A and B are shown apart, each in its own frame.
Chain A
Amino acid sequence: MGGLEVDITGKAGSFAISARFTAAPGVTALFGRSGAGKSTILKMIAGIMRPEEGRIVADGRVLFDAAAGINLPPRARGVGFVFQEDRLLPHLSVRRNLTYARWAGRRAGSRPLEEVVALLGLKPHLDRFPGTLSGGERQRVAIGRALLADPGILLMDEPLSSLDRQRRGEILPYLEAVAGETRIPVLYVSHETDEVARLADRVVAVEDGTAQVAGTPAEIIGFHRGEGDIPVSIVEGVVVDFDRRYGAASVDIGGVHIELSGVDLAEGAGLRLSVNASDVAIATTPHEGLSIRNQIPCTVEAVETAGTVADVLLRCGRQRLVARITARSASELGLAPERPVVALVKAISVASYSHAGKRHAT
């Protein structure tokens, strides 16, 4: 199945939007702060908002082409849209909501209802009404409804943002299941680093209405900020050794080894690690006798000072890390581009996701 090509410019009120990227089958995250224009881009792809110029092509089918005067209405675009708010129809049962695209939208029902119901754990709720469901259950119904619309592209606009932390934790596994089985392009809008790290194959950075820089999560996150104040680095690696006695894994992140704790992993498994910038310290020379296990040789790429803090962008072999230190330390250590340093990362502060391994390990 083919991918999605987006090359559009437009406006949302007086806010200028410019997006140029492609999305292959799999999950592509549109990542950036709130108000960066992520949702607007999604709505333009769905046909809810109209771009001024450009083209949108899905699987070889032209959805929008300003020059040729083509602008398919939302119903004809073959998308599945999961909104921030669930937008379930309150007067219809869960079952009628799930199958809406079939009885009201005349979409072909190539996928059995039972399969999607099982995937999202909705069996006990089929005859209930949306008003009686919890927020997490409602969002699961909304995801199922979009999947059952036989979409050629699945668009998800921060589907977890209206939920509290616990509910988000309940839904993420379902989203991973959807991401794991999908054979269509999924565009996932989010400003949450951990969601993107768990779900995305590729990331498109969205800043000030512009979406043009794309890459792997490791390349984009940390260098293009999400919502959180503290930047996060994403690192891809492979488990080379696992010490069951201490629950300590040694992970190869491209020539450099990093140690993790508390994970039960097999050797050879691929991992995606996320490291908070505030958990990374910098030394100018290697140190002995430290409890910090990970001392990674790097070179400074850039130092971004803002007030009392400085974010130091580091290149470590093929990986990149961000360290947040005080502006004073940065100045006293004399950190400047090209300077070799050692990044100190506490093993216990590294979060790992097996998602990347399932898909990319060879």
Chain B
Amino acid sequence: MMEAETAIVLLSAKVALAAILLALPPAFAVAWLLARRRFKGKGFVQAVVTLPLVLPPVVTGYGLLVLFGTQGPLGRLFEAAFGLTFAFRWTGAALAAGVMAFPLLVRPIRLSLEAVDRGLEEAAATLGASRLVVFLTVTLPLALPGVLAGAVLGFAKALGEFGATITFVSNIPGETQTLSLAIYALLQSPTGDTAALRLIIVSVLLALAAVLLSEWVARRLTERGGDGRA
């Protein structure tokens, strides 16, 4: 039984990690657009980004099934281009978790980008730095705490994602059965209560560890910068 539980935890971690790595670059790009650019339809983009947060997860999962299923247009495209399939596979679970975590990633990154003093970027430009170098040496380091906060929040969300995952890729032990899905399955069986409790404790500990880690890293980052002590 212990071995099965370890496998479930490892699968969940793999799915959540893949989800965050997948979602982080586009989330940063969208956060940048929302924080720094004025364009027509900004409100619409904002709404679409928030959608996974407010839609019933089952609906999001169904949408993924339609788009990324074996017969879906994007599903076919990915299979033809990269040989990558999502339906009933752990990659699909990662995709579902990534989509569900997306709004949670965008918000803190956007807020931290908005908080970066544009005057510092101006100063860096007068010192000869190109836009890319200004981004890498000023904007990104100053926005890092927000990126980190977003990543941890998104990771926790991905770890616990349930509705969209079960709708899109079902509940297949060893392939798509992450922590939440395993707990759900165990609670359905008359003899699964103890095993479910063990998994519940594991998931609580994992979430706690993730939050503590992010707090610690954020503190390290701000300490180095100092905060106005004269």
What is the interface of chain A, defined by CB distance below 8 A to chain B?
A: 46-48, 73-77, 79-81, 83, 85, 87, 89-91, 100-101, 104-107, 129-135, 145-146, 149
Contacts and interface: CB of A to CB of B under 8 A. Distances in A.
Contacts of A130: 225-226
B124 A81 contact: no
Contacts of B137: 89, 100, 104
Nearest to B138: A89
B228 A131 contact: yes
A47 B126 CA distance: 8
Nearest to A78: B128
B119 A145 contact: no
B221 to A, nearest CB: 8
Contact of A145 (B125, B127, B134): B127
A134 B141 contact: no
B224 interface: yes
Contacts of A80: 126-127
Contact of A129 (B130, B138, B224): B224
Interface of B is mostly: helix
Interface of A is mostly: loop
B129 interface: yes
B125 A75 contact: yes
25 contacts: A46-B126, A47-B126, A73-B125, A74-B122, A75-B125, A75-B127, A81-B126, A87-B119, A91-B141, A91-B142, A91-B221, A100-B127, A100-B129, A100-B137, A101-B128, A104-B124, A104-B127, A129-B224, A131-B225, A131-B226, A131-B227, A132-B226, A132-B230, A134-B230, A135-B230
B134 to A, nearest CB: 8
Contacts of B228: 131
Interface in B213-230: 221, 224-230
Contacts of B225: 90-91, 129-131
B133 interface: yes
A107 B128 contact: yes
B84 interface: no
Contacts, number: 85
B123 interface: yes
A352 B102 CA distance: 66
A48 B127 CA distance: 12
Contacts of A89: 120, 123-124, 137-138
A73 B127 CA distance: 11
Question: Interface centre among B127, B129, B225, B228, by most A CB within 10 Å?
Answer: B127
Given A73-B125, A80-B126, A149-B128, 14 more contacts: A46-B126, A74-B125, A77-B126, A79-B126, A83-B119, A83-B123, A87-B117, A89-B137, A90-B225, A91-B224, A100-B137, A129-B226, A131-B226, A145-B127
A307 to B, nearest CB: 39
Contacts of A76: 128
Given A85-B119, A87-B119, A91-B141, A100 B124 contact: yes
Contacts of A101: 127-128
Interface in B131-149: 133-134, 137-138, 141-142
Contacts of A133: 230
A101 to B, nearest CB: 4
A139 to B, nearest CB: 13
B131 to A, nearest CB: 8
Contacts of A105: 124, 127-129, 133
B52 to A, nearest CB: 33
A44 to B, nearest CB: 13
Closest 10 A/B residue pairs (Cβ): A131-B226, A105-B128, A87-B123, A101-B127, A81-B126, A129-B226, A74-B125, A90-B225, A105-B127, A104-B129
A135 B229 CA distance: 11
B126 A131 contact: no
Contact of A104 (B120, B133, B226): B133
Contact of B142 (A77, A90, A129): A90
B127 to A, nearest CB: 4
Contacts of B142: 90-91
A46 B122 CA distance: 10
Contacts of B123: 81, 83, 87, 89
Contacts of B226: 90, 129-132
A75 B128 contact: yes
Contacts of A87: 117, 119-120, 122-123
